[in-house]
Chains A and B, each alone.
Chain A
Amino acid sequence: MTNINIALATLLFVKPLSTVRMRQLLTNGAVVVALTICSAGAMAKPVSGEESPDFTLKSRDGGNIRLSEQRGNIVLVNFWASWCGPCREELPAFEALYQEYQDLGVEILAVNVDDEADKANVLLQDIEVSFPVLFDTSGEVSQLYDVSAMPTTVIVDRDGTVRLLHPGYRKGDEKKYEKAIKMLMRE
């Protein structure tokens, strides 16, 4: 944002500013803003088709859970937080999916990113889920997966390859997850 600040500062504080210079500054400033906006939006993410980065996190039951130990199952890794509205809406949808597909080789790992596990536990007393909840309080796994939206769902196939990266949640997105699960089950 430095160029923009310099341009704006010059604009506001350099008093006798000729019309030509003002025009140039404003135009340049506007174009730079547009470029910055566009470029910043295009950022790298873990790519579908690559091996899912492995991680080990403490779970709600006390033990540790490692992603690579889930090989052989289709895994839905969901990054969520207690303070995130869409995340809270999504949890019951995941519970419904889990009830239906757990016995068919599907695992759901809900990675909570709250800075304190207590905050997640309080919410889980209200929204009950039966799938494992893992705690990423330091944010390391979120960084590993370059989580760029809250919530984010990553679907990993039986061989540990990332197959779907779904940022955000809107009502009805669980149907997309179900479709992906069914497709992966047929493989």
Chain B
Amino acid sequence: MAAQVVVVAVTKLQTTQAITQNLTMVKRVLVALGLILSLVFVGGTKAAVLPIERADVLYHSYEGDGVTIDGPSVLLRKNIAGKVSVSANYYVDTVSGASIDVRATASPYEEVRKEKTVGLDYLNNKTLLSTSFTNSSENDFEANSLYVGVSQDFFGDLSTISLSYSKGWDVVGRRGDESFEEEADRQKFGLGFSQVATKSLIVGFNIEHISDEGYLNNPYRAVRFLDPTTDRGFSFVTEKYPNTRSSTAYSINANYYLPYRAAIYGDARIYNDTWGIKAQNVKLGYIHPVEDDWIFEVFLRHYKQDKADFYQDLFSRPNEFNFMARDKEMSTYTGLTAGISVSYEWQFSQTATFKKSAVHFEWDYMKFDYNDFRDATAQTPVGEEPLFGFSANVLRIFASIWY
């Protein structure tokens, strides 16, 4: 046992030295904490619990800005021998219609995206190891990603620390252009900490550092530049993004139990990245159960973003800068989301094969208001088009069964 431990420690020392040569500060801190944890908990005590076994069938729908994206999502989870939990998700997006970007530049299209995920969770003493693999496939884009996470309960199960790492590989294609094939890679490092503060309050914080490398723009998206030779007064050219992007997000969250059986929760996040985008969002929600069967929930979320350094609604020339973007998701804007949900549960028996089932209805209303993105389809002089804004309705209707 001691020899084993020494070997492990020496390997980790060498790994630490190798890693610290190549990583930025945030990554080093995360890796160091991860190594400390894995050493400290080698001789653990007793256990926590696996995620709950259940099956869900969901219908999702997003409708806004001329686009409808809907489809199913099926999630299954089975626990084995109290140590392992396997899960699988099958998700489909069917996209139809044309958003403002498509309306301004091209014609509507219909597209299907299929996403499959398989996951495995392993519980050992107070450590939960999770891993999953996801494949997302559509006719012009293929993405694969691998996720590993570890979560550790300690201090009488009052504290939980979690570390996560994810690696993604994207292959970007372009419809109608067989020779076009680009790649993009992604890495995510996450650290989370959660603390039971009182019998009724849990608080937590999360940090996530994401870095992308490769072809990072959308091959259909274009920037517009002043062009007096055309009727409209402007022309389009494909966006040009940097081939790296690095971001850090910090968030805090809290859940509080109200004595008459209800819960209030909130979270807040600040974000910044090397493209110059800065964002903050805050969410507040309230959950109210009635009897043992009904659960009602409402929430409000506010999002605010400052544009990327190379974003402009209108450029002067096609090659004005090295990097140019007109994707409205890179612009300065605010978003407000309000959501309401209702669910009804049928309790069977704790000893039966199927313990309970429920149906849920969730509806979110989203409103986006852009400060520096204009509606290029408007019939006004170039650069004087009205600022764009739109609203969307998001639905989640699903049935669940616990076994």
CB distance from A148 to the nearest CB of B (A): 7
Enumerate chain B residues within 8 angstroms of A126, measured Cβ to Cβ. Answer: 349-351
Q: Are B47 and A33 neighbours in the complex by a CB distance under 8 Å?
A: no
Residue from the list A34, A43, A85, A86 in contact with B40, Cβ < 8 A: A34
Enumerate chain A residues within 8 angstroms of B349, measured Cβ to Cβ. Answer: 126-127
In the complex the two chains form, what is the Cα distance from A1 to B144 in whole Å? 40
Q: Output the residue of A41, A148, A170, A171 with the most chain B CB within 10 A.
A: A41
Q: Are B155 and A40 neighbours in the complex by a CB distance under 8 Å?
A: yes
Chain A binder among B29-37, B182-190, B306-314, B338-346: B29-37
Q: Are B47 and A168 neighbours in the complex by a CB distance under 8 Å?
A: yes
Q: Which residue of B lies closest to A169 (CB)?
A: B82
Q: Are B49 and A30 neighbours in the complex by a CB distance under 8 Å?
A: no
Whether A72 is near chain B, meaning CB under 8 Å from some CB there, is no
Q: Are B155 and A30 neighbours in the complex by a CB distance under 8 Å?
A: no
Q: How large is the interface on A (under 10, 10 to 19, 20 to 34, 35 or more residues)?
A: 20 to 34
Interface of B is mostly: loop
Enumerate chain B residues within 8 angstroms of A167, measured Cβ to Cβ. Answer: 46
CB distance from A110 to the nearest CB of B (A): 15
Whether A123 is near chain B, meaning CB under 8 Å from some CB there, is yes
Enumerate chain B residues within 8 angstroms of A41, measured Cβ to Cβ. Answer: 45, 154-155
Q: Are A149 and B154 neighbours in the complex by a CB distance under 8 Å?
A: no
Residue from the list A26, A34, A38, A170 in contact with B29, Cβ < 8 A: A26
CB distance from A174 to the nearest CB of B (A): 13
Q: Are B47 and A170 neighbours in the complex by a CB distance under 8 Å?
A: yes
Q: Which residue of A lies closest to B157 (CB)?
A: A149
Q: Are A85 and B49 neighbours in the complex by a CB distance under 8 Å?
A: yes
Whether A92 is near chain B, meaning CB under 8 Å from some CB there, is yes
B interface footprint on A157-187 (CB within 8 Å = 1, 0 otherwise): 0000000000110110000000000000000
In the complex the two chains form, what is the Cα distance from A168 to B48 in whole Å? 9
Enumerate chain A residues within 8 angstroms of B32, measured Cβ to Cβ. Answer: 26, 30
- With A30-B36, A85-B49, A167-B46 in contact, is A40–B154 under 8 Å at CB? yes
Residue from the list A38, A85, A149 in contact with B46, Cβ < 8 A: A149
Q: Are B40 and A37 neighbours in the complex by a CB distance under 8 Å?
A: yes
- With A127-B350, A171-B81 in contact, is A37–B49 under 8 Å at CB? no
Interfacial residues of chain B within 14-66, with CB under 8 A of chain A in the complex: 29, 32-33, 36, 39-41, 45-47, 49, 52
CB distance from B351 to the nearest CB of A (A): 6
Interfacial residues of chain B within 153-184, with CB under 8 A of chain A in the complex: 154-156
Whether A60 is near chain B, meaning CB under 8 Å from some CB there, is no
In the complex the two chains form, what is the Cα distance from A126 to B156 in whole Å? 30
Q: Which residue of A lies closest to B81 (CB)?
A: A171
Enumerate chain B residues within 8 angstroms of A123, measured Cβ to Cβ. Answer: 350
In the complex the two chains form, what is the Cα distance from A70 to B349 in whole Å? 33
- With A33-B36, A170-B82 in contact, is A40–B156 under 8 Å at CB? yes
Enumerate chain A residues within 8 angstroms of B41, measured Cβ to Cβ. Answer: 37
Enumerate chain B residues within 8 angstroms of A58, measured Cβ to Cβ. Answer: none
CB distance from B44 to the nearest CB of A (A): 8
In the complex the two chains form, what is the Cα distance from A171 to B41 in whole Å? 24
CB distance from B292 to the nearest CB of A (A): 9
A interface footprint on B74-102 (CB within 8 Å = 1, 0 otherwise): 00000001100000000000000000000
- With A26-B29, A38-B40, A85-B49 in contact, is A92–B156 under 8 Å at CB? no
Enumerate chain B residues within 8 angstroms of A171, measured Cβ to Cβ. Answer: 81-82
Q: Which residue of B lies closest to A86 (CB)?
A: B49
- With A30-B36, A170-B47 in contact, is A148–B156 under 8 Å at CB? yes
Enumerate chain B residues within 8 angstroms of A33, measured Cβ to Cβ. Answer: 33, 36
Enumerate chain A residues within 8 angstroms of B350, measured Cβ to Cβ. Answer: 88, 123, 126-127
In the complex the two chains form, what is the Cα distance from A36 to B40 in whole Å? 11
Q: Which residue of B lies closest to A26 (CB)?
A: B29
Enumerate chain B residues within 8 angstroms of A37, measured Cβ to Cβ. Answer: 40-41, 154-155
In the complex the two chains form, what is the Cα distance from A171 to B49 in whole Å? 12
In the complex the two chains form, what is the Cα distance from A86 to B46 in whole Å? 13
A interface footprint on B127-151 (CB within 8 Å = 1, 0 otherwise): 0000000000000000000000000
Q: Are A34 and B156 neighbours in the complex by a CB distance under 8 Å?
A: no
Q: Are B82 and A30 neighbours in the complex by a CB distance under 8 Å?
A: no
In the complex the two chains form, what is the Cα distance from A41 to B126 in whole Å? 11
Q: Which residue of A lies closest to B41 (CB)?
A: A37
Q: List 22 A-B contacts (CB under 8 A).
A: A26-B29, A26-B32, A30-B32, A30-B33, A33-B36, A37-B40, A37-B155, A38-B40, A40-B154, A41-B45, A41-B154, A41-B155, A85-B49, A85-B52, A123-B350, A126-B349, A126-B350, A127-B349, A167-B46, A170-B47, A170-B82, A171-B81
**17 other A-B residue contacts (CB within 8 Å) besides A40-B156, A171-B81:** A26-B29, A30-B32, A30-B36, A33-B33, A34-B36, A34-B39, A34-B40, A37-B40, A37-B155, A43-B156, A85-B49, A88-B350, A123-B350, A126-B350, A127-B349, A170-B47, A170-B82
A interface vs B, CB < 8 Å? 26, 30, 33-34, 36-38, 40-41, 43, 85-86, 88, 92, 123, 126-127, 148-149, 167-168, 170-171
